[in-house]
C-alpha cells in the first residue's frame, strides 16, 4: 500500500539553527499538509499546499516557517530559526484531491531543539 515517507525520523538541532523536514507524499495525491504534535498535546494543523502554493495556514505557521515542493516528489517544511518550543513531532500528510478526502499521515519526524 502506498505510504507517505518522512525523513529524518529524528532531528536534533541547536536553538537558532535552520532545519528542513522532508516528506514524499503518496504519488497520485495532490494536497499536502504539515501538522505538529507537541508531546502530550493534540495534533495541530500547520499548513496545506495545493498546486504549488499554500492553500491555508494556521496561526502557528508564522514567518519562521515555509514550505516548498522543490521537485515532483518531495515536499519540505523549513523552520528558519528554531526555538525551544518548536520541539515536537512533525507529521506530513497527503490526500487525493479536491473535496473532502481522507488524509494519510507519514510516520513523522521528531524534532528536538537544544
Partner 1 sequence: QKEVEQNSGPLSVPEGAIASLNCTYSDRGSQSFFWYRQYSGKSPELIMFIYSNGDKEDGRFTAQLNKASQYVSLLIRDSQPSDSATYLCAVFIGNSGYALNFGKGTSLLVTP
Query: What residues from 90 to 109 belong to the interface with partner 1 (CB under 8 A)?
Result: 91, 95, 100-108
| Residue placing its CB nearer to partner 1 in the complex, 81 or 101 | 101
Around Cβ 26, how many Cβ atoms within 10 Å?
18
| Residue placing its CB nearer to partner 1 in the complex, 61 or 86 | 61
SS3 per-residue string spanning 17-49: CCEEEEEECCCCCCEEEEEEECCCCCEEEEEEE
Strands 10-13 and 109-113: parallel
Does the footprint of partner 1 cover residue 64 (CB under 8 A)? no
Does the footprint of partner 1 cover residue 52 (CB under 8 A)? no
Of the candidates 33, 36, 67, 77, which one interacts with partner 1 according to CB under 8 A? Answer: 33
Of the candidates 11, 13, 24, 50, which one interacts with partner 1 according to CB under 8 A? Answer: 50
Amino acid at each position: 500500500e502506498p505510504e507517505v515517507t518522512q525523513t529524518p525520523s529524528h532531528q536534533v538541532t541547536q536553538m537558532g539553527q535552520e532545519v528542513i523536514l522532508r516528506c514524499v507524499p503518496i504519488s497520485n495525491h495532490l494536497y499536502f499538509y504539515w501538522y505538529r504534535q507537541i508531546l502530550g498535546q493534540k495534533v495541530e494543523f500547520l499548513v496545506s499546499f495545493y498546486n504549488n502554493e499554500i492553500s491555508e495556514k494556521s496561526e502557528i505557521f508564522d514567518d519562521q516557517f515555509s514550505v516548498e515542493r522543490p521537485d515532483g516528489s518531495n515536499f519540505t517544511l523549513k523552520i528558519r530559526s528554531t526555538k525551544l518550543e518548536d520541539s515536537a513531532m512533525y507529521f506530513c500528510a497527503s490526500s487525493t484531491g479536491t473535496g473532502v478526502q481522507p488524509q494519510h499521515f507519514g510516520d513523522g519526524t521528531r524534532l528536538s531543539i537544544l
